[in-house]
Structure 1
Amino acid sequence: MVAGSTTVEIVSAVEAKRLWYAVTKNAKSLFLKVAPELFSSITTLSGNGGVGSINRVDFSPERVDKRDEDKMVYAMNQLEGGMVGKACSSVKCELKFRAKTGGRCVITWTCYYDTLPSVIPDQIKVEEAKTSIIALFKKVDGDK
């Protein structure tokens, strides 16, 4: 088993607090609207959306591990689906939103993963995940 992580920073034209709210409190409306090809359903299985809540994004349940409104940090743990069980024993992602001049913001997305014992780290689709998150936030900005 190998522990690894990857990080990408994305500059958004959307103000930090506004984007924080949209992603952490209104993800269902936001992501289903801007990226229907990526998301077919987002459902809260338990909780009120705060820490400990379980959300199902398409067919993969995720647990909210952190939601710090003051620091604008949101972390989730993918419980199953995606790479969990195929190449990784665990996948955790963290989003940090930081205000930038001119009403824009910087989103820092970090993904932490532990590979399954038989998986070589380069078999993890790290670059594909980074490309996907960048594309998602470009869609949020209205870029094609």
Structure 2
Amino acid sequence: MGFIAKELEIASPIPPAKIFKAFVLDADELFPKIVPQAFKSVEILEGDGGPGSIKKITFGEAEQFKHAKHRVDVLDKEKFVYHYSWIEGDALMHVFEKISYEIKVEAGHDGGSVTKITTKFFTIGDVHLNEEQLNSGKEKVIGLFKAVEDYVLANPEYA
């Protein structure tokens, strides 16, 4: 099995608790609402949404993949930490055993936040991926984060 890790930091004017709520805790409802072209639905198949839960993501028409299942590995609402792993579905492209994401939201400047995302790719066999392939996923994560951020900023009543 091969292993590749990529790190990403995204600064936001939104405080940590509020961006964590939107980007993590309310993601199952918000993602299909905010970016329906990318997410058709997110449903919990097993568990209560906490660690050990299994979720099925059905992607929207604009995506090249149809679905993925992910497992919640860690959810710490006080420390704003969330880890999950894609464990099944065509999004793994028969190349990855799993793809794990570690998200941590910290206080930033002027009351904002910094979201740190580490993506760990566990490949099947000795597969080599080029930077272009890895960076395409990074751009999608940034786009999704900014869409959530824009939604929160445009809806001041969102708590």
Partner of 1:40, secondary structure, is strand
Q: CA separation in 2, counterparts of 1:48 and 1:9?
A: 29
Normalising by structure 1, what TM-score?
A: 0.89
- RMSD, matched Cα: 1.9
**How far apart are 1:25 and its partner, in Å?**
2.1
Instruction: Please show how residues 1-144 of structure 1 align to structure 2 within 5 Å.
Output: 1-58=1-58, 59-122=67-130, 125-142=133-150
Note the C-alpha offset of 1:133.
0.5
Contact 1:87–1:123 under 8 Å retained in 2: no
Q: Structure 2: 5+ residue runs without aligned partners?
A: 59-66, 152-159
Q: 1:8 to 1:127 in 2, by over 3 A?
A: same
Determine if contact 1:2/1:121 at 8 Å carries over to the other structure.
Answer: no
Structure 1 unaligned residues grouped into runs of 5+:
none
SS in structure 2 at match of 1:61: strand
Percent identical across equivalent pairs? 29
> 1:49-71 deviations in whole A, cap 9, x for unaligned?
11001111112110000001222
Q: Runs of 4+ in structure 1 displaced over 6 angstroms?
A: none
**Residue 57 of structure 1: SS of its match in structure 2?**
strand
| Cα offset, 1:109, TM superposition | 1.0
- Distance in 2 separating the partners of 1:137 and 1:33: 14
Q: CA deviation at 1:83?
A: 4.2
Q: Distance in 2 between matches of 1:7 and 1:40?
A: 27
| Alpha-carbon distance, 1:123 to partner | 7.8
Distance 1:25 1:4 in 2: 27
Q: What TM-score, normalized by structure 2, do the two folds share?
A: 0.82
